[in-house]
A and B are shown apart, each in its own frame.
Chain A
Amino acid sequence: MNEAIVQLRGLSKHYGEGTTRVDALKEVDLDISAGSVVGLLGPSGSGKSTLLNLIGAIVDPSAGLIRLDGELVYDGRWIRKDLRRLRLEKIGFIFQFHNLIPFLNVSENIEIVLELAGYTLADARKRSLELLDYLQVADRAQAKPSQLSGGQAQRVAIARALANRPRIILADEPTAALDFERATIVIDLLHRVADEQHAAVIVVTHDEKIMPRLDEIHVLRDGALMEKEAAG
């Protein structure tokens, strides 16, 4: 059994108070292991994005406990003050529309994460080219994001997410803008990353075509986590 990279206990999030209170997430307990690609499913408003934002230290939980990569990061308050640093060290993000910085070229989009993490320019460049090579887009290193195909852009986004060797990858609808063939390539890549980097990949998706390729599927409904479904 692989170690749990993400541990959530009684994690809740509500907005407003009294009659205006909305429970976006209700006492979620969840363990996600290294090496797995896990899907978060549910209708709109079910709390998928809220859960992703809580694990990504983007939104403050209302209650509960979060442990990431063995480190307790939230127990009623954020243990670290610098949440951006926490994200930089532990979490990689992959977005629906890749969100590459348009004024940076492909290589620079990856280098910037590494520079923020304290790499020297030379080391950042070397690591960037390694990742682009790993994801088979090294030939596009100097291209601007606008010059990439959808599939290439998403691979670069994955490379950026992996840049600082995070053990948690949060992917928000990573295949929504891709056709079946490209979506399959992206999910295969995420599996490869999870296996080779011993990372936990959490994918929020509505995309039915990729569900059979996920290791686990967790369904959220009205902010509550339903029973775990086996996939694949």
Chain B
Amino acid sequence: MNLAIRDIRHHMGRFVLTCLGLALLLGVVVSMVGIYRGLVSDALSLVRAPAPDLWVVEGKTRGPFAEASRIPFDMRDAIARIDGIAEAGAVTYQSLQLEIDGRILRAFVVGYEPGRPGGPANLAEGRPIERSHFEIVADRRTGIPLAAKFKIGADWFTVVGRTAGQVDSAGNPTIYMTLKDAQKIQFQQEGAAARNLAVRGESGTPNQVNAVLAKLKPGVDRLALVQAIERWKHLSAMTQNDQEALLLQSVVEKARKQIGLFTAILLVVSTVIIALIIHTMTLDKVREIATLKLIGAPDRSIVGLILQQALAMGTISFSLGAGLLFLLAGHFPRRVEILPGDIIALASAVALACVLASMLGVRHALKIDPAQALGG
């Protein structure tokens, strides 16, 4: 006979309310991990979109995301000519704050050469950039519809395609445009500043890019190629894996620690709350437990009653919390990504927390004297 289930049924209202409260707390725990995973996905989506084999950046820098990197545009051709390189494309990256229909939009602008590495991975709708100027591919999160026209700097741009979930590590949506347009936005000065540059003989748009992305021919030794490129003292090169690791280390590491600490604190708080609830439930059952002991129930039956209730509370609350997060994940301002492995790990942590939390109640229950069942 399962005493735990029968006791829960007897106090169903109280149990459900407790589980709902706990579900919200555990939902926050799950969301913390989901937010972290989303942060990682966001950070990597920008790096993974072009899917190059090599990132070539300014010498002795770890650019273009962890550090600033500028290299001459013509390096793209120099890289492309290296034996083993299949194709290379120059890219620029910059953050931009736009005002569209009175709305402030912070976006991450990627300038690339259509037909070469560096562009968006997959389009959710529309078409890729085909013209050399004034066309853009914007992510859906910009809220800019297909075929919309808006002004950046002095020029009007048309949205010809849209990506889905393409953001930078800060969660800002990405806008792709041609390299020439991006360079103009990034480097070209206007008005007095432009005149000042002209006086100094520095007019025009500097033909610089932030990185060159390269795809390799099959079977090429990547490390050997990296070393070959780095022999040119003004260039650094790294593989896609290196770039991803660097990005996670430099951009996401602190957030990971912060969120990890917060998650641990929430788990401890959950454990304390479960412990207090289970202890209170045990105190409510002192006479029943004393009676059970008196009529011959062994300690394992008493421990089972308390432990099963704690686990039931944890399991139901965690399921409700995780379910709630699944429903609400799409409404969070930043990506929330819930992975099966994380759910299993968190569920195990919650189960462990329940076992620990029930110890207080178990300790109290084991101390109950069966004589307490006697008398008024």
Contacts and interface: CB of A to CB of B under 8 A. Distances in A.
A141 to B, nearest CB: 15
A143 to B, nearest CB: 13
The residue among B1, B298, B301, B369 with the most chain A CB atoms within 10 A of its own CB is: B1
Interface in A96-154: 96-97, 99, 101-104, 108, 111-113, 115-117, 121, 144
Contacts of A176: 376
Contacts of A53: 371, 374
Given A93-B294, A93-B295, A113-B296, A103 B9 contact: yes
Interface string B1-44: 10100110111000000000000000000000000000000000
A82 B369 CA distance: 15
The residue among A84, A89, A176 with the most chain B CB atoms within 10 A of its own CB is: A84
A160 interface: yes
Contacts of A74: none
Contacts of A112: 1, 3, 292, 295, 297
A111 B9 CA distance: 18
Interface residues of A, number: 34
Nearest to B293: A84
Contacts of B291: 95, 99, 101
A223 B298 CA distance: 31
Contacts of B295: 87-88, 93, 112-113, 116, 160
Contacts of A117: 296
Contacts of B374: 49, 52-53, 58, 93, 95-96, 172
B143 interface: no
Contacts of A59: 371
Contacts of B292: 101, 112
Given A102-B288, A108-B1, A115-B1, A58 B371 contact: yes
B375 interface: yes
A123 to B, nearest CB: 13
Contact of A102 (B10, B370, B375): B10
The residue among B288, B297, B370, B374 with the most chain A CB atoms within 10 A of its own CB is: B374
A30 to B, nearest CB: 19
The residue among A95, A111, A121 with the most chain B CB atoms within 10 A of its own CB is: A95
A108 B375 CA distance: 23
A102 B289 CA distance: 11
B296 A84 contact: yes
A56 interface: yes
A104 B6 contact: yes
B119 to A, nearest CB: 65
A131 to B, nearest CB: 14
Interface residues of B, number: 25
B202 to A, nearest CB: 85
B106 interface: no
B149 interface: no
Contact of B294 (A58, A89, A121, A144): A58
A172 B370 CA distance: 14
B371 A87 contact: no
A209 interface: no
B1 A87 contact: no
B296 A116 contact: yes
Given A58-B371, A95-B373, A116 B287 contact: no
Contacts of A88: 295-296
Contact of A116 (B9, B301, B371): B301
Nearest to B297: A116
21 contacts: A52-B374, A58-B370, A84-B293, A85-B296, A93-B374, A95-B374, A101-B288, A103-B6, A103-B9, A104-B6, A108-B1, A112-B295, A113-B295, A113-B296, A116-B295, A116-B298, A116-B301, A121-B1, A144-B10, A160-B295, A173-B375
Interface of A: 49, 52-53, 56, 58-59, 82, 84-85, 87-89, 93, 95-97, 99, 101-104, 108, 111-113, 115-117, 121, 144, 160, 172-173, 176
